[in-house]
Each structure stands twice: as C-alpha cells, then as structure tokens.
Amino acid sequence: MSSRTITIEPVTRIEGHARITLHLDEAGGVGQARFHLTQFRGFEKFCEGRPYREMPALTARTCGICPVSHLLASNKACDYLLRVSIPPTAEKLRRVMNLAQLVQSHALSFFHLSSPDLLLGWDSDPAKRNIFGVMAQAPALARDGIRLRQIGQTIIETLGGKKIHPTWVVPGGVNEALTPEKREAMLKMLPEGLEIAKRTYAFFKTLVPKFKDEADHFGSQPTLFLSLVTPKGNLEHYDGFLRIKDAQGRIVEDMVPAVEYERLVGEAAENWSYMKFPYFRPMGYPNGIYRVGPLARLNNVEACGTPFADVALAEFRMLQESGPIASSFHYHYARLVEMIFALEMMERLLKDLQILDARVRARARSNRYEGIGVAEAPRGTLMHHYRIDDDGLITWVNLIIATGHNNLAMNQSIRQVADAYVDGNNLQEGMLNRVEAVIRCYDPCLSCASHAFGQMPMLIELKDSSGQVLDRLSRH
C-alpha cells in the first residue's frame, strides 16, 4: 500500500480559512499532521507609513470577531509611545469593554461553534451538527447563547457607539466619559448574563464525564503556559505582568513586564502556513512550545478574584489530580469560568463611584520611538509592537496574535488526535471531525493570525479542474 494524504478543507466552525493535512504511511497510520493557515493578510506591511494614531482603527480591522482586543492592545502601544499614564477611570472603562468582548467571543465559541459536537456527538450527521441542530435539540441552550452574546455586544455598543470596530478607545484613554444613564443600562443586563453563564456552567459540568476519552487525547501533551497575571498572581485580561508555567506547574518566568516580551518569545516561519510559529525563546524552536488563552490563564493564576468564578476555578482544578490542567479539551470549561468572572467583574467596575469621572484622557505627543501594548484577547495574549520616526509615522510593526502563540500546540494536538482516532484503512467522517474539533478547542481566529515574518515562504500552485498541478511557483 502506498502512502496517502487526507486533506480536511475547509476546517469548519472556526473563524477564518484553514486546512488540515494528514499524511498516512503505508500501514495506514499517521506519519505527519499539519494545520495550514491558507489566507494571507499582511497588516504589518501596509500599516507602514501611517501615522501612529491611526493604528488602533487600522489594526482593529484585522478581525470582526475580536476588534476590541486589537483596539486595546494597539492603544496601549500608543500610550507607551506617548509616555503617559492614562486616567484611572479610563482604565476601568477600557477594562469593562475588554470583559464584554470576552463574554461575547466566548459565547460564540462555546454555544455556536463547539456545542454541536458536545450535544449531538462527534459521529452525528454533519448536516445537523451545527447551531440549527442545537436549536432543535436544546432550544433553551441556544437562546441562552444568543442572549449572552447579545449582552456582551450591547455593552460594547453602549460604551463605544457601535458593536464592531468602535473608535471610543483612543491613545491616552477613551474619548467620552460614561453617563449615569449608560451605566444603569449596562448594570441592568449583568444579573441576567451571570445567571445564564452560571446555568451553562452547571450544565457543562454534567457533560464533562462523558468526554473522558477526548480529554485524554485532545491536546493533552505537556507544554508551557503563558499569560498575564496581576501583581498578586490573579486573573488579568487588560494589564499586568507575563507569567510562564511548565507542565508540572513550576513557575518558569514571573512578573516579567509586558514590554520585555521579546526576551521570552521568539518567532519562526514555515513554508506551509501563513501563520507564524512563536516559541519560548530560552528553549528554542520548536521545543519551546506553549499555550495561551483561557486554559493557560486559569492554569497560571492563584485566584480569579470574584466569588462565583473562584468557586468554579476550584472545581476546574479538580479535573486533574495535580499540576496544570493538561488537556486542550478543557478550554471549553475554562471559557465558561472566564465568562462568569467577566460578568462579575464588570458589575464591580461599573458600581465603582469613580467610573463616572469626567477625566478619561491624557493628551501628549509622541515621546518614544517604540511602543509595545499587551492585553489578553479571548483567545490569549495579544502583542502589538510599533516603531515610529520623528514625524510619528510607522516604520515597523509586529503583531503576535493569540492564535499564533498556540500554533505549535495546535499542530501537536492534531497529531495526537489523529494518532488516537484516525484509521487510514477504515476512514469515518467522525474520525476527521475529531481532528477538526481539537482545533475548535483553541477557538482560533485565523483572520487575526495571518501574518508575514521577514521574507515569508510562499508556494503558489496552478491546478486544472481535476486537481492536477499544472505549474508551481515557490519562494523560500
């Protein structure tokens, strides 16, 4: 028997375009597994020459799912260029918007993209294994998902003027103070949102024991974990310090200022994907594999810092006898814990009397030639790094996207799942769905993650209608 290649294209129920290739050996086993990002964007290059104050609006257009994350990281980089400390109220308001973004994005991932597998089964009819199938089988759950996402998006719109690509966050803070009316409107929504999040969390806990086999094989190989933490080591999404833990739970790096990220993170490129391959620099490439996002954040923290989320965190840690939670399957669990935290924390921030203060922006001109902004996007740590000239024009940009941080781990995970479930001599659709499903655990945002690094390797193939390659052009 000759070797064969299985191609899964497109990978479904994710944001963006990708394919998976599984190269089978002569015995039908998996010899190689790769996750290919197939779209090219190039934001770093076409931002060059633009005024730095345009960067938040430009880079927010990287994605329609998580524009707030880019808006915040970009503005933090611009704050650094200005060399200003933004007003405390502006920071609180930015935090509220970031947490609302977390809620709507996590709700999209859990309810719309991943729940069809969890409710209908990996081997169910693919024509029904979607949000419409969930609506038919569990209409209350489907409505909860829609409402929870609506609450997050409405808070973003209330603060920023629109749900997608708001321009309310600006270098130096935000451009408009919060009114009492808007504050009360947001506070009225939060108890309902928290009840939905708690109800969904309780329901998901009943499902977890049914997926022990998946939890054992869905990206459970040892890696490092990277995230921001507060100075006390608690859960942080907007600011804080970088922390890295190893697979045994030992802290490898701690309280690293975000502007020193380059000491920790290196980047590599491969000729088969438009996504960069970040790695932990001291361990080298490709050995320095780490994960980011909700799973990494909960593994890294001492506590969440809000009542219900801390109870859920304690239960999350019971999934494994000791050490960090290893399985990427439990990204789903971690998202639900984070949604509870976000809703609790938004209420706490909005009830702070200072939240209505009129001083919400610090004004200055550029006072540095280099700016770095780091925040936690729903999918993980997001890094914006800019350089400018004397006229304030961008000369160089580097974006390290949350999904990119997970690139090595995602490739490792599909190999593990393929080894466990794919039989090349007796292929079944459900086997391949499990390979896709491990990618959905990471909730990749591929429009964000498509970037060039240096001289990006490129392969262009011209194929006829039968798929035969007529011509090939490559650049290395």
Average pLDDT for residues 368-394, to the nearest whole number? Answer: 97
Instruction: Tell me the pLDDT tens digit for each residue of 309-360.
Output: 999 999 999 999 999 999 999 999 999 999 999 999 999 999 999 999 999 9
Asked if 98 and 69 count as a contact pair (C-beta separation under 8 A), the reply is yes
Amino acid of residue 156: I
Using DSSP's 3-state secondary structure scheme, residue 225 falls into strand
Candidates 196, 232, 207; CA nearest to 340 is: 196
On the CB side of 453, how many CA atoms lie within 13 Å of its CA? 18
Amino acid of residue 367: N
The neighbouring-strand residues paired with 397 are 386
Asked if 96 and 346 count as a contact pair (C-beta separation under 8 A), the reply is yes
Confidence of residue 36 (pLDDT cuts 50, 70, 90): confident
Instruction: Tell me the pLDDT tens digit for each residue of 415-462.
Output: 999 999 988 788 888 988 999 999 999 999 877 767 654 444 445 556
159 Cβ contact list (under 8 Å, min separation 6): 93, 96, 97, 100, 166, 168, 174, 178, 182, 186
Q: Could you tell me the CA-to-CA distances from 16 to 105, 113, 251 in Å, in that order? A: 14, 13, 34
Please state, in angstroms and rounded to a whole number, the distance separating the CA atoms of residues 392 and 380: 29
Mean pLDDT (the chain) is 92
* Percentage of the chain lying above the pLDDT 90 cut: 76
Please state, in angstroms and rounded to a whole number, the distance separating the CA atoms of residues 251 and 209: 30
The neighbouring-strand residues paired with 20 are 8, 35
Element (H, E) at 18: strand 18-24
Candidates 316, 331, 358, 351; CA nearest to 190 is: 351
Region class of 240: left (phi > 0), else alpha (psi between -120 and 50), else beta: left
Please give the pLDDT value at position 455.
Answer: 47
Please give the pLDDT value at position 15.
Answer: 78
Cis peptide before 444 (omega within 30 of 0): no
Average pLDDT for residues 45-64, to the nearest whole number? Answer: 89
Candidates 170, 194, 214; CA nearest to 420 is: 214
Asked if 324 and 411 count as a contact pair (C-beta separation under 8 A), the reply is no
Q: What are phi and psi of 55, to 5 degrees?
A: -60, -40
Please state, in angstroms and rounded to a whole number, the distance separating the CA atoms of residues 37 and 398: 18
Asked if 362 and 170 count as a contact pair (C-beta separation under 8 A), the reply is no
